[in-house]
Chain A
Amino acid sequence: MAGMELLSDQGFRMDGRKPNELRRIRFKKGVFRQADGSAYLEQGNTKVLAAVYGPHEIRGSRGKALHDKLLINCQYSMATFSTQDRKRRPRGDRKAQEMTSHLKQTFDAVVLTELYPKVQLDIFVEVLQSDGGNYCASVNAATLALMDAGIPMKDYVIACSGSHMRDTPIVDMNHLEESSGGAEVIMAILPRCDQIVFLEMNSRLHEDHLSGVMDHVMVGCKDIFNILNQQVQDELCQKTELDKIVTTG
């Protein structure tokens, strides 16, 4: 019978959001003691854990080392319980490999790699629950984890997805919207320098709509940035207050 109505006549999406609204974002940095940096992030029902190790000596064959910059090693995986139909193989399938290489590409562009020649940095991302926008949540979580680890970066790197539905651009798609078959634009940007570091599109989207969708995704990234940055700053202030008390006390 009648399929889903992804955007109603009243201008609401299936989950009650308006086209330009993000899902709820919550996060916590430093959730893992063993790692050098870590972060847990929720974007709606997509929940991701990121951990950063390093920089440290090259592991395994030394031949991989880059003589003039840092080697970033990424690994993306999905928990067996992350999707509705339980996954058989959490790692190493084609999709995970692709995602791994996308993440590497993204962080190569933003970490100041030339500061650490001949050593290695590991970024592990595990999707605990998947409800659309896995790449975006992974990037955002990994950014926070890198900050937590104190790795120097050009800027935050923030990712967001978007599409075009009934002549309206929408941002931050959930799983239901992603699986509707429409085109999806995924973008990672450096929000303070307006620089795009990653752009992917699946399925065809007419060039007339592309710039509109990209503009909205850009705004979506900046909104995410503001949310993350606000909390990071607040926590920083609290910490310095605390430090003051400790040192003066």
Chain B
Amino acid sequence: MLTNKVFIKKTKMGGVMKIVREHYLRDDINCGSQACTHNCDSDGKEPLEEIPISDSKLVMKPHYLVPDTNVVLHQIDILEDPSIKNVIILQIVLDEIRHRSAPIYKRVKDILASSHKHFYTYCNEFNMHTYAERQPGESANDRNDRAIRKAVAWYADHLKDTEIEVVLITNDAGNRKQSVLDGLKAYTIHEYVRSLSNMSLIDRLANPLNQMNQDNNGKVLFAEHLGLAEIQKGIRAGRFLQGTLLISRENYLEAFVSVKDQEKMIFVQGLQNLNRAVNDDNVALEMLPDSEWSCPSSMVLAEDEGKDEEDEENRALNETVVDNKVPKELRQPTARIVGIIKRNWRQYCGILQPSIIKERTRHLFIPAEKRIPKIRIETRQAQTLASKRIIVAIDSWPRNSRYPLGHFVRCLGEIGDKDTENEVLLLEHDVPHQNFSEAVLSFLPKMPWTITEDDVKRRRDLRHLDICSVDPPGCTDIDDALHCRELDNGNYEVGVHIADVSHFIRPGNALDQEAANRGTTVYLTDKRIDMVPDLLSSNLCSLRSKVYRFAFSVLWEITPTADIVKTDFTKSIIDSKASLTYAEAQLKIDDPNAHDNLTKSLRGLNKLAKILKKKRLDNGALSLASTEVRFYVDSETNDPIDVKTKELMDTNSMVEEFMLLANISVAEKILYEFPDNALLRRHPAPPPSNFDPLIKAAQSKGFTIDVSSGKALADSLDQAVVPENPYFNTMLRIMTTRCMMQAVYFSSGMLQPQDYLHYGLATPIYTHFTSPIRRYSDIIAHRLLAVCIGADASYPELLDKSKIQSLCNNLNFRHKMAQYAGRASVNLHTHLFFKKRIQDEEGHVLFVRKNALQVLIPKYGLEGTVFLNDDGQKSSSIFVYDEENNTQTAGDVTIHVFDPLIVQLSIDRSNVQHMKLSLKLVKPMIPGFSVQSVREVQANATGSQSKTSTTDLPISGKPPQKKKKRTH
């Protein structure tokens, strides 16, 4: 049976177009129920249980639920609960969710794929009995509601010979009324959830407040939001602007909006003008008249937590900071928000604000992210949640409410607990870290995995070669292995073999989508959040020794002077002879008695790597320093007991050198074949002004830094050495790192070739190929290269330059977030480490700021700030800042950049959600500012025998932190 769908579509040009699409209706669509008494052709897909057990006092009989679109969109937390089972998601509902919210769509898909949930998608739109043609004068929404009712009626009729009832769940009163008229069962989600024995679900219902109490005496606090149609009209007419809201970290009543195609950000200030927009929302703006323009106030509004909430509500309106005493020259383009184009709400971590009245169920939630407003929620478990980190979702923000309304989602755990805090930092950095869903896991190869004859035919067999891998100790996701052998003509054959991840992850399936979304494996100090499931990352893809593995190999013929004669790419099978650590590989190379093939191979690699490195540095590549911290962790409690900075060996740079070479070779190849859609990585040259702090700092020690080119910079850094301060040069390099731009992925078709440059590596072109287990960018590079050599198929998204670019944008975001999360994790461990101790350490001044010293502590690779006018101290005016010479002077003591100091480290716990490492100056001694050293305190305190605050704990043979991270 056939019908035509006719609809009117607006084109981009503003014209109107009538579109006719065929729509085939059929009668062979499976109901998905095991109880079915008709002969539905099931294809083995019958997730709905034969006898669903009812837990509801409202519907005592066994039943299936059919939620409407809004219920799924808003109550996904309820649907995800394990106790909610046997739900029919109609195709029409799924389609609408897909268009309205990508994250919720993904969550629904995950539920649908989970076998314990018994959810089923029913294609009501293709069934001739349930298709509802839109009637003249009927709105799209009414039509959809009718289609949903029709499907429910069909199910009720289809299952009439069974015990099972079908219940429509909708919060739309009209829809419910009509359903009852049609003789169907229909309830609101609230009615239904309250009828369940699982009471804890009630807390997680979205928006109960909104309907129940129109509180605040109905007083309206905010202007109405304009409708979407009006906004679009305004934008087209140029009256409104559209952009993404970024609330200031310092002041939650100030924000900037980045408007598309406009460089300058637009400023928004005050509760009224922000008009219920939340950070990250896509908003419509109306410019204010010039006379009302303002600028960010440096005044920081501290959230005072002690006050009663009602009080605060009354204060709400007075809080707006509108006084145009802003001097004209400081004023910035300022606007107010007139409407919300798209909300970008997510779930937020935080704590409950302590409430004076214990029994009340309405509470305020304080998010950890300072840019998010407090959220009003309703919960009966306030007492148990008081000392916990919890997650809350926003449901709505009505005009009469000072705060957005939300609901409790789940509890993470005790504040300060390491696992809880880890989870918080993952959530706050938007790192996807849930267990892989069943849908994702279903695309893993079936075990036991074997290499078939067909595989052997398609791959070059390199199992005879003496290949080995060299990694940090404890590494389980080995993505690279190498070999080197001498050829008869005196040249070398060098091979870099990379895990063939793209063999296992096929484009477009759930596994691929998950990996693409995660973008990267995230390394925390005590935890690894994998990009791909463990079976791949630690087993099938990991190039472990003594097992046959698939690899994507780059093979070069290289002369003894490290010139490349020939490059070859192939899919291969390898048999790694050994998984070495950097130290083990170093030992083999240095052992004069070792002459086995593996050692020879390593020595060859090492020799060539040194020449390659020299060439690269001569070319102007920078060798910069960053401080990487490693924790020694107590093996029992996993609490950190000591911190050390990492050291590098010869073999580190040996591996690195060949990875760089492989990446460059692959970049050249894929760009040649795909000039428009190659995924590359660029590192723009920093604008000269970026170097000003570096130049100034070096000058203070009498050195000139030439930043005219990468080469000049590298050379002048090499020359800047102070013999009496061996740390000086490292500090300069750390500073140089800070001047650099971010390296980013991009699609080659989006930029001009001269912009492909990788400044840090001094190479005109670069990509990532060598770590496909932990970076999605590398998987794309693999796929492109595979297409180049005819080893694999391409697919439309791979050849589309803008699709590649939008993929790159996500990868760049994920990498940045992974980096931040990694740093936050180091901070967390630092805090745990110093939680029980106060310690004096040697430090160096990295930067001198107006009110603070930035201090580097080499022993731990830590950086911290010594505030010079801390309000706790009464010494705010002791220091005099000399901007010219970049110094701070107090009395006869002057502090310069690079000066050595002694600082005291401790933890500042004044804010429960944000513990901070606090640094206090011990030496040089400045009366009224410096604190006594730990030893002196101890000595003074009656010379007691007990060490109340230790300086050094004995460390005995604890395992070092297992962490793998390379920057190439």
Residue of A nearest to B19 (CB): A84
Residue of B nearest to A129 (CB): B20
**Does B105 sit at the interface, judged by CB under 8 A?**
yes
**Does B474 sit at the interface, judged by CB under 8 A?**
no
**Does B600 sit at the interface, judged by CB under 8 A?**
no
B793–A174 contact, CB under 8 A? Answer: no
B793–A15 contact, CB under 8 A? Answer: no
Chain B contacts for A21, CB-based, 8 A = 24
Q: Which of B2, B123, B126, B794 contacts A206 (CB 8 A)?
A: B794
**Closest chain A CB from B809 CB (angstroms):** 15
A1–B102 contact, CB under 8 A? Answer: yes
Q: Which of A5, A15, A205 contacts B21 (CB 8 A)?
A: A15
Residue of B nearest to A5 (CB): B98
Residue of A nearest to B3 (CB): A16
**Closest chain B CB from A4 CB (angstroms):** 10
Residue of A nearest to B510 (CB): A9
Interface stretch (choices A139-147, A175-183, A191-199): A175-183
**Closest chain A CB from B675 CB (angstroms):** 15
Chain B contacts for A85, CB-based, 8 A = 17
**What is the bound-complex CA distance between A5 and B97, given in angstroms?**
13
Chain A contacts for B18, CB-based, 8 A = 84
Identify whether the interface residues of B are mostly helix, strand, loop, or mixed: mixed
Chain B contacts for A2, CB-based, 8 A = 98-99, 102, 105
Chain A contacts for B20, CB-based, 8 A = 45
A181–B123 contact, CB under 8 A? Answer: no
**Does B787 sit at the interface, judged by CB under 8 A?**
yes
Which of the four size classes fits the interface of chain B?
Answer: 20 to 34
**What is the bound-complex CA distance between A208 and B109, given in angstroms?**
30
**Closest chain B CB from A220 CB (angstroms):** 16
**Does A166 sit at the interface, judged by CB under 8 A?**
yes
**Closest chain B CB from A182 CB (angstroms):** 5
Q: Most chain-A CB neighbours within 10 Å: which of B19, B793, B794?
A: B793
**Closest chain A CB from B154 CB (angstroms):** 16
Chain B contacts for A10, CB-based, 8 A = 91, 121, 123
B99–A12 contact, CB under 8 A? Answer: no
Encode contact with A along B115-141: 1 for CB under 8 Å, 0 otherwise: 000000101011000000000000000
**Does A44 sit at the interface, judged by CB under 8 A?**
yes
Q: Known contacts A2-B105, A45-B4: does B792 contact A174 (CB below 8 Å)? A: no
A131–B22 contact, CB under 8 A? Answer: yes
B105–A181 contact, CB under 8 A? Answer: no
Chain A contacts for B506, CB-based, 8 A = 167
Chain A contacts for B22, CB-based, 8 A = 15, 23-24, 44-45, 131, 174
Residue of B nearest to A182 (CB): B796
Q: Most chain-B CB neighbours within 10 Å: which of A15, A176, A205, A208?
A: A15
**What is the bound-complex CA distance between A208 and B790, given in angstroms?**
11
Q: Which of A5, A16, A180 contacts B23 (CB 8 A)?
A: A16
**What is the bound-complex CA distance between A85 and B19, given in angstroms?**
10
A12–B123 contact, CB under 8 A? Answer: yes
Chain B contacts for A154, CB-based, 8 A = none
Chain B contacts for A8, CB-based, 8 A = 91, 123
**What is the bound-complex CA distance between A6 and B657, given in angstroms?**
44
**What is the bound-complex CA distance between A1 and B101, given in angstroms?**
9
Instruction: Please report which residues of chain B, range 163-179, place their CB below 8 angstroms from some CB of chain A when the two chains form the complex.
Output: none
**What is the bound-complex CA distance between A182 and B99, given in angstroms?**
22
Q: Which of B109, B126, B509, B793 contacts A16 (CB 8 A)?
A: B126
**Does A248 sit at the interface, judged by CB under 8 A?**
no
**Does B185 sit at the interface, judged by CB under 8 A?**
no
Chain A contacts for B753, CB-based, 8 A = none
Chain A contacts for B509, CB-based, 8 A = 166-167
**Closest chain A CB from B40 CB (angstroms):** 13
Instruction: Please report which residues of chain A, range 11-68, place their CB below 8 angstroms from some CB of chain B when the two chains form the complex.
Output: 12, 14-17, 21, 23-24, 44-45
Q: Which of B4, B99, B796 contacts A181 (CB 8 A)?
A: B796
Q: Known contacts A181-B800, A204-B799: does B121 contact A9 (CB below 8 Å)? A: yes
Encode contact with A along B3-28: 1 for CB under 8 Å, 0 otherwise: 01000000000000111111111100
Chain A contacts for B924, CB-based, 8 A = none
Q: Most chain-B CB neighbours within 10 Å: which of A23, A131, A181?
A: A181
A166–B508 contact, CB under 8 A? Answer: yes
Encode contact with B along A195-227: 1 for CB under 8 Å, 0 otherwise: 000000001111011000000000000000000
Chain B contacts for A181, CB-based, 8 A = 796, 799-800
**What is the bound-complex CA distance between A15 and B22, given in angstroms?**
6
Chain B contacts for A182, CB-based, 8 A = 795-796
Residue of B nearest to A208 (CB): B793
Q: Which of A16, A17, A166, A209 contacts B125 (CB 8 A)?
A: A16
Chain B contacts for A204, CB-based, 8 A = 787, 793-794, 799
**What is the bound-complex CA distance between A158 and B698, given in angstroms?**
79
Chain A contacts for B105, CB-based, 8 A = 2
Q: Which of B21, B26, B508 contacts A176 (CB 8 A)?
A: B21
**What is the bound-complex CA distance between A211 and B302, given in angstroms?**
68
Encode contact with B along A144-178: 1 for CB under 8 Å, 0 otherwise: 00000000000000000000001100000010100
**Closest chain B CB from A236 CB (angstroms):** 27
Residue of B nearest to A205 (CB): B793
**What is the bound-complex CA distance between A205 and B795, given in angstroms?**
8
**What is the bound-complex CA distance between A166 and B793, given in angstroms?**
13
B4–A12 contact, CB under 8 A? Answer: no
**Closest chain A CB from B312 CB (angstroms):** 38
**Closest chain A CB from B441 CB (angstroms):** 16
B24–A180 contact, CB under 8 A? Answer: no
Residue of B nearest to A17 (CB): B24
**Closest chain A CB from B35 CB (angstroms):** 20
**What is the bound-complex CA distance between A166 and B797, given in angstroms?**
12
A206–B793 contact, CB under 8 A? Answer: yes
**Closest chain A CB from B842 CB (angstroms):** 55
Chain B contacts for A14, CB-based, 8 A = 21
**What is the bound-complex CA distance between A23 and B787, given in angstroms?**
33
Q: Which of B17, B91, B121 contacts A84 (CB 8 A)?
A: B17
Chain A contacts for B800, CB-based, 8 A = 181
Encode contact with A along B193-217: 1 for CB under 8 Å, 0 otherwise: 0000000000000000000000000
Instruction: Please report which residues of chain B, range 18-72, place their CB below 8 angstroms from some CB of chain A when the two chains form the complex.
Output: 18-26
**Closest chain A CB from B407 CB (angstroms):** 25
**What is the bound-complex CA distance between A29 and B24, given in angstroms?**
25
Chain A contacts for B23, CB-based, 8 A = 15-16
Instruction: Please report which residues of chain A, range 119-135, place their CB below 8 angstroms from some CB of chain B when the two chains form the complex.
Output: 131
Chain A contacts for B793, CB-based, 8 A = 204-206, 208-209
Residue of A nearest to B26 (CB): A16
Residue of B nearest to A46 (CB): B22
**What is the bound-complex CA distance between A1 and B97, given in angstroms?**
11
Chain B contacts for A180, CB-based, 8 A = 796
**Closest chain B CB from A156 CB (angstroms):** 25
Chain A contacts for B102, CB-based, 8 A = 1-2
**What is the bound-complex CA distance between A15 and B792, given in angstroms?**
30
**Closest chain B CB from A69 CB (angstroms):** 40
A16–B508 contact, CB under 8 A? Answer: no
A12–B126 contact, CB under 8 A? Answer: yes
**What is the bound-complex CA distance between A203 and B966, given in angstroms?**
38
Residue of A nearest to B798 (CB): A204
Residue of B nearest to A166 (CB): B508
**3 tightest A-B contacts by CB?**
A206-B793, A181-B796, A16-B24
Residues of B within 8 A of A (CB): 2, 4, 17-26, 91, 98-99, 102, 105, 109, 112, 121, 123, 125-126, 506, 508-509, 787, 792-796, 799-800
- Extra pairs beyond A8-B91, A176-B21 (6, CB < 8 Å): A9-B121, A12-B126, A14-B21, A167-B506, A181-B796, A204-B793
Residues of A within 8 A of B (CB): 1-2, 5, 8-10, 12, 14-17, 21, 23-24, 44-45, 84-85, 131, 166-167, 174, 176, 180-182, 203-206, 208-209
Q: 28 A-B residue contacts at CB 8 Å?
A: A2-B98, A2-B102, A2-B105, A8-B91, A9-B121, A10-B121, A10-B123, A15-B21, A15-B22, A15-B24, A16-B23, A16-B25, A16-B123, A16-B126, A24-B2, A45-B20, A84-B19, A131-B22, A166-B509, A167-B506, A176-B21, A181-B799, A181-B800, A203-B796, A203-B799, A204-B787, A204-B793, A206-B793
